[in-house]
Amino acid sequence: MKNIIALLLFIGLMGCTLHTWAETTTINQKGMPVPSAMAPSMSAFSQDVCAVPISAAGNLGFISLSGGTVLLDENCVKIKLAKTLNDLGLKVAAVSVLCQDPKVWDAMEMSGSPCPMGGAVGFTAKKAWYEKDPEKFRKLYGQNYTLPTPPNTKE
């Protein structure tokens, strides 16, 4: 019985709202400022990504603009590539990726562990680098630098 009364009451209310008329309304926005711009929300929080989100918004009173983009961190990408190659057991390839950075190349050379070149490591790689670009060595060691003789290896 309660359900029937509730249903009749609902139908009666719906019938009342079906016959509504609107008055003529004029909206005048002259002199009204434009709505505020909202900067887009972009997040890289707690994500294993090499991207930096940037967003901005501005309002000049007659126009509002907003936008955003994502900048890629190339150094982060190199580190992730090197880590993945190392985890796969490709240590020479991992070092080669890091050696693309001139600071890493300089550090490896000055530590006595030259960056790999064409699959070569050690003195052979150092010789290949010297033949390719002797200026790199002159920049590190001075204008009078010459490639030392290879170490004597006894087998």
Closest to 126 measured CA to CA, from 142, 143, 105, 104: 105
Q: In this predicted model, what pLDDT tens digit does every residue of 35-44 receive, in sequence order? A: 776 766 766 5
How many Å apart are CA 151 and CA 16, to the nearest integer?
Answer: 101
> Rounded to whole angstroms, how far apart are CA atoms 76 and 101?
12
Q: What is the pLDDT of residue 144?
A: 87
pLDDT at 12: 60
Q: What is the pLDDT of residues 39-59, one digit of tens each?
A: 667 665 666 788 888 888 888
pLDDT digits (tens, 9 = 90+) for 60-114: 877 888 888 888 889 999 999 999 999 999 999 999 999 999 999 999 999 999 9
Q: Report the distance separating Cα 44 and Cα 51, nearest Å.
A: 7
Cα Rg of the chain, angstroms: 35
Tokens of 109: 């050379």
